[in-house]
Amino acid sequence: MLPGRLCLVPLLLALGVGSSSSSGDGGDSRRRRLLAAKVNKHKPWIETSYHGVITENNDTVILDPPLVALDKDAPVPFAGEICAFKIHGQELPFEAVVLNRTSGEGRLRAKSPIDCELQKEYTFIIQAYDCGVGPQEAAWKKSHKAVVHIQVKDVNEFAPTFKEPAYKAIVTEGKIYDSILQVEAIDEDCSPQYSQICNYEIVTTDVPFAIDRNGNIRNTEKLSFDKQHQYEILVTAYDCGQKPAAQDTLVQVDVKPVCKPGWQDWTKRIEYQPGSGSMPLFPSIHLETCDGAVSSLQVTAELQTNYIGKGCDRETYSERSLQKLCGASSGIIDLLPSPSTATNWTAGLLVDSSEMIFKFDGRQGAKIPDGIVPKNLTDQFTITMWMKHGPSPGVRAEKETILCNSDKTEMNRHHYAVYVHNCRLVFLLRKDFDQADTFRPAEFHWKLDQICDKEWHYYVINVEFPVVTLYMDGATYEPYLVTNDWPIHPSHIAMQLTVGACWQGGEVAKPRFAQFFHGSLASLTIRPGKMESQKVISCLQACKEGLDINSLESLGQGIKYHFNPSQSVLVMEGDDIGNINRALQKVSYINSRQFPTAGVRRLRLSSKVQCFGEDVCISIPDVDAYIMVLQAIEPQITLQGTERFWRPAAQFESARGVTLFPDIKIVSTFAKTEASGDTRTTGTAPKSAILEEMLHNLDFCDILVLGGDLDPRQECLELNHSELHQRHLDATNSTAGYSIYGVGSMSRYEQVLHHLRYRNWYPTSLESRRFRIKCSELNGRYTSNEFNLEVSVLHEVRVSDKEHVNHLIVQPPFLQSVHHPESRNSIQRSSVVPSIATVVIIISVCMLVFVVAMGVYRVRIAHQHFLQETEAAKEAEMDWDDSALTITVNPMEKHEGPGHGEDETEGEEEEEAEEGLSSSSSGSDDSEEEEEEGVGRGRHGQSGRSSQSPGKSTWTTAGVINIWK
């Protein structure tokens, strides 16, 4: 093209183009126009329409076809060149630029970021302009108008979002739904690819739900209200660019039960804190009848505690203690006591979970020793027992003996017995022949379901011959069958009383047990000569825990209720459902024990419904709940008092003896946690435990003798029976110690212990005795610390008046390792040799001064210790009196032999006077040292005795030192 354009130059010059004109400026302008008209003949040419695509947030537009302008004036400079592309429209974010003026190539680009979400496409007009005949824009020629359509390409910059932050639906159990609910998410991207939601997904695992591409949620299995009341699932969404939702949505599906008649709004587990009194069991319970036509309703609430020991929470005190608490008459004989040295006939029996419960497996029986129960019972007596019995396979036709009194040898007569036969309780009583020879009632039968229900029940057989009455769980039952029999012929055959089986001593080759019992027994007693009252019987079987009704006055009209004797079963009846609901909400559990046994108490609520003329009435399922009795705060029982003291020997010999525990104190505390401290640094309040005293009973205190049993020939422990009886306590005494038992307050036990005395008829051979006390509550469930006491003897020191003064030089006990037997004779021989005797006397005087000084010091120290101990003893008769300390010493014997002049005697007396004593001796010092050593040995449990004979004293001066009142 360029060579062609060069060829046009001569032509233009020939035509006078570009030549100077002399006609002035106006001529020049005209010539330029003429020249332009002659040179720039054609308009630029472009396509009529363009289609473009631009990606958002980019500035390059891709056009189809490309932007190119052509001009037929080419290759004429300016006229054949393209100088601009212009876009027509307001506030369009595009511009067109010329890339090559000669070729006419151009480009369309964005002036600012393009956002598809604001505008997806643009349409505008574009024109091309040539360069005219010069650099001036006025002569440019423009092309025709072309339409440009630009489409904005989307970028997946937005994540899907759900229209609702959470969704909720309610479904009925037992149904499969095609769609429970629909979730919906949106995307703010502009393109269909990125703005549409292509998929939904359940994020929560292991749930019986599924979701489709449209967001419809359905259940994959039938839902159960009993299994789960509510489901919470998380759902997410994906756009078609597989971008997940920024935040999952929560879908809550509530399962509504199919209307089933039954009790609603009750709690399966009910916690009970000991000491909290009466606690409602069903504060919000109500009955759902599903619009059933109910005419009347009977509700039975049953507290099941049969698996706790003997049923209910009765494992508290021994049977004897319970009988005293209930005011039972004295003389009751326990036939199944806890095994001990005195009651060893139960040692071979099986013990079931408690030392007071005995289990019989059909192979065991116990013989009651002779003398425990009178041979012949009177016309009035009482038999009591706790029994748990159930049917035993294979032994239904056999008698199961509970108590039997039969011939020991020769014959096999049963004089009286209690046994179970075919789930009937039978009491046998055969009277001996007397003046009347007639038929008499002999067998009494009771048919009760409780005898074989494998539950604990309390049985009392009151005999007032010929009338026999049975009390079971406090209720009275008359025998349904009474069989008469002839009296038994009198004989001199001894009888054997047994428990758990009957003794067959005759009519067999070898005496043996027979008719074994299968079950459990406890508290089997017999009271000869008297019957128990209804009040005592009710008290003995009463339960400290049970059901109760708060505010009986607020029960609705027409509500009837009934408790069983132990208040473990409550029956309510009424014809108004609303009144029944309100009455049941007032049923509570109460436990009056201070330290109840922790654990579970089963609770069952059963209902019977009557409807109006309906052949088929609604059925209400039972409510099975349980009460969890929490652990009570355990008490810490502490014994405090004087642990060591000394008493004169004369007090041990006196009729009153020595009071062992004059200041004993029994304190029970429990740890109470309370918040305290500065919370500014930690943010939480630290907890500190403080001790608080609590009052409760004790059931025994054992005083044990340590270091060997008591010798009944010279020592014993004593306690006035009046002290026990006034406080309703009992005691047993043995050489091993003293046991005080019975339910009583801690203060009662303190008062009794204050009067316990120890006597010893020969205290001269005794240095000390040690004792230990340990107390208990609830049969050893809570025990105290072991309190140890050591009591020592202060011996009377007697000094012989016939010994020679030279015996002053006898070695003290701590020098016995170098003491020679012949020293006594050598000293006596020294009186024959004056020179040696003089030296010995001088040495003796020096040692005398030293020994006397040490003796006085030790006497005073011992005296002060004794004062401190006796001041703490709280009894005036034990107090130490300083005025009673007197020292009586006979004049020392004077010897005529050489070496014993008056000067030496006077010098010795002057030295003694300087020590503040009227007279003293080495023997007194020796005595004090022996006492101190003896006390020390007593404290460490060692024994020490002087090798001297009782009738001879080792003291070298005559006199007696009395140090007590």
Query: In this predicted model, which residue has the larger pLDDT, 932 or 211?
Result: 211
Contacts of 735 (CB under 8 A, 6+ apart): 705, 709, 710, 711, 712
Residue 339 has pLDDT above 60, yes or no: yes
Q: Tell me, what's the pLDDT at 234?
A: 94
Mean pLDDT highest for which of 192-206, 396-410, 656-670? 656-670
- 191-205: average pLDDT: 87
**Higher-confidence position of 67 and 25:** 67
Stretch among 70-74, 282-286, 577-581, 748-752 having the lowest mean pLDDT: 70-74
Contacts 24+ apart (CB under 8 A), 448-451: 448/424, 448/472, 448/477, 451/389, 451/420, 451/423, 451/424, 451/425
What is the model's pLDDT at position 137?
Answer: 62
pLDDT at 587: 92
In the prediction, which pLDDT does 892 show? 39
pLDDT of residue 688: 54
- Return the higher-pLDDT residue of 801 and 500: 500
User: pLDDT at position 167, please?
Assistant: 94
Q: Which residue has the higher pLDDT, 686 or 719?
A: 719
What was the pLDDT predicted at 835?
Answer: 53
Q: What is the pLDDT of residue 813?
A: 37
Can the peptide bond before residue 686 be classed as cis, meaning omega within 30 degrees of 0? no
Tracing tokens 């007569």 back to the chain, one arrives at: 413
Share above pLDDT 90 across residues of the chain, in percent, rounded to a whole number:
27
**What pLDDT, on the 0 to 100 scale, is given for residue 468?**
92
Enumerate the β-bridge partners of residue 670.
692
- Residue 674: pLDDT band with limits 50, 70, 90: low
Residue of 775, 806, 611 lying closest to 702 (CA atoms): 775
Give the DSSP H/E element, type plus range, for residue 668: strand 665-675
Judging by beta carbons within 10 Å of its beta carbon (0-12, 13-18, 19+), is residue 664 exposed, middle or buried?
buried
Nearest-angstrom CA–CA distance, 347 and 337: 10
pLDDT of residue 796: 67
Strand partners, 292: none
CA distance 85 to 66: 13
Give the model's pLDDT for residue 102.
84
Whole-angstrom Cα distance, residue 573 to residue 297?
6
Q: Say yes or no to pLDDT of 924 above 60.
A: no
Query: Which of 154-163, 317-326, 800-809 is predicted with the least confidence, judged by mean pLDDT?
Result: 800-809
pLDDT of residue 64 exceeding 60: yes
Which residue type sits at 834? P
Largest CA distance in the chain: 193
CB atoms within 10 A of CB 928: 22
Spell out where 157-310 has E strands: 161-162, 166-172, 181-182, 185-186, 197-202, 209-211, 216-219, 230-239, 249-256, 262-264, 269-272, 279-280, 286-288, 294-304
Which stretch of 391-400, 517-526, 793-802 has the lowest confidence by average pLDDT?
A: 793-802
pLDDT of residue 153: 82
Structure token digits, residue 381: 């007596």
Residues 513/362, Cβ–Cβ less than 8 Å: no
Sorting pLDDT into bands at 50, 70 and 90, what band is 162?
very high
**Can you give the pLDDT at residue 552?**
66
Of 421-430, 758-767, 867-876, the range with the lowest mean pLDDT is 867-876
Work out the average pLDDT over 857-877: 54
Which of the residue ranges 70-74, 162-166, 709-713, 797-801 would you say has the lowest mean pLDDT? 797-801
**343 pLDDT band (50/70/90 cuts)?**
confident
> What pLDDT score does 31 carry?
57
pLDDT tens track for 878-887: 434 343 344 4
In the block, residue with structure tokens 């002399």: 22
Query: Which tens digits make up the pLDDT trace of 398-440?
Result: 889 999 998 888 888 888 999 999 889 999 998 776 656 677 8
Residue 576 pLDDT: 87
Using the structure block, give the residue that is written with the tokens 């979701």.
211
Per residue in 290-302, pLDDT (tens digit) is 877 888 889 999 9
Q: Sheet with 587-591: list strands edge to edge.
A: 279-280, 587-591, 545-549
The model's confidence at residue 70, banded by pLDDT at 50, 70 and 90, is confident
- Higher-confidence position of 311 and 72: 72
pLDDT band of residue 693 (cuts 50, 70, 90) is: confident
Nearest to 757 by CA among 877, 667, 881, 665: 877
Confidence of residue 756 (pLDDT cuts 50, 70, 90): very high
Query: How far is 25 from 32, CA to CA, in rounded Å?
Result: 11
Whether 127 contacts 50, CB under 8 Å: no
Question: How confident is residue 204, by pLDDT bands cut at 50, 70 and 90?
Answer: very high
The pLDDT mean for the chain works out to 77
Q: What is the pLDDT of residue 592?
A: 85
pLDDT tens-digit series, residues 590-646: 988 888 888 899 999 999 888 877 656 888 999 999 999 998 888 899 999 999 999
DSSP 8-state class, residue 964: -
* Residue 701's pLDDT band (cuts 50, 70, 90): very high
pLDDT at 616: 64
Of 720, 717, 724, the closest CA to residue 740 belongs to: 724
Sign, Cα dihedral of 325, 328, 330, 333: negative
| Structural tokens at position 540 | 């003995």
